[in-house]
Amino acid sequence: MSVPASLTKPQGSAAAAVNDDGIRNLAAMTHLIDDLPMLPQVLVRIIQLDPESDRYFDEVEQLATEDPALAVRVIALANSAASSPAEPITSIATAMTRMGTSTVSQMLACLAVQKVFMPTEPNQINMWVHSVCTALVGRTLARLITQLGVESGTAYLTGLLHDVGRFVMFEHASPQLMAVDESNWNTPEQLIAADLAVFKYTHSELGYLACQRWGLPDLLANVIRAHHNPIPSSITPGSSDALNFVVQWADHLSIHVIDVPEEDLEDRDLAELVTECCPVQGCPEAWVPRITKHINRMRDESSALLQSLGFAAH
């Protein structure tokens, strides 16, 4: 795992109001989580939708229109230069017809999270780009590796929120988060050690508490808490271990393959990279070609969604 860019202190950050003892106390940070806005319920309800259902189009349209502010944002993004519609899009239904129901569903999830964490600083935007890429890759992995029994929508949302603890840290303790990233960690174990050295707790623990505060399903919260933990050698399909496997692989692929300049991959063997990113030793060989075949598509999808959201992929 590569070293993230150093973070700079955001102007007007709540971090100024939190002393060093406060950020080193998980209970104190929990109180700050309590002050965060609630996630729009649309995010939780998106998980419960079945993309294969005949009613999926109607259900996504209903969810979007129940939150007028989100609906307006989706329609605005659908009409953006990145989408370039031939005719103006004036409704959610038209947006889904033109862009695809899944794309609109993904936009809704991202925009719902942005209601709590609107990225403005360059390094906060980098974290957001990584989260979106991880979500899209996780969804694809879940669809490609059906043996794991992981629902693609759950993989998408867990990937989108897997580093939510770091977003909380950025909001309330960005100088300390900068110290973590300047420790030059290169592995999940080193990141956890750096978190503990600076904060006395980890971003995974903080993310778990945020998910509890928002009432997200236990499955998501538990995987977010464990997303840097070793994966067991035996994985039960449909279990939290299966979801964690998908999220960790997506996390690594996002950093090393998806969200990197194309020229950096020109001399690399993609199948070898996919294998190296696998979070367990002895990666099943049958899975690697399937994933490698979809790398360019995942890169394109990530770039398109990020542009639609107003961000540029690396």
Per-residue pLDDT of the chain (314 residues; tens, 9 = 90+): 333 332 223 333 333 334 555 566 777 777 777 777 777 778 778 877 877 888 989 998 888 888 888 888 888 888 875 556 678 888 999 888 888 888 888 888 888 888 888 777 887 888 889 999 999 999 999 999 999 999 888 899 999 999 999 988 888 888 888 889 888 887 888 889 999 999 989 999 999 999 988 888 899 999 999 999 999 989 999 999 999 999 999 999 998 888 788 888 877 899 999 999 999 988 888 999 999 999 999 998 888 888 777 776 54
pTM for the whole structure: 0.82
- What residue segments make up the domains of the chain, in order of their start? 1-38+119-314, 40-115
**CA pair distance 245, 150, nearest whole angstrom:** 10
Query: H or E element: which one contains 32?
Result: helix 26-34
Residues near 13 by beta carbon (within 8 Å), at least 6 away in sequence: 171, 172, 174
Kindly report the length of the chain.
Answer: 314
Beta strands in 133-291 (DSSP E): none
> Is the C-alpha dihedral spanning 170, 152, 250, 82 positive or negative?
negative
**CA pair distance 88, 72, nearest whole angstrom:** 13
Domain with residues 1-38+119-314, CATH architecture: Orthogonal Bundle (1.10)
C-alpha pair distances (Å), 130 with each of 11, 72, 138: 22, 25, 12
C-alpha pair distances (Å), 227 with each of 159, 162, 208, 221: 10, 7, 10, 10
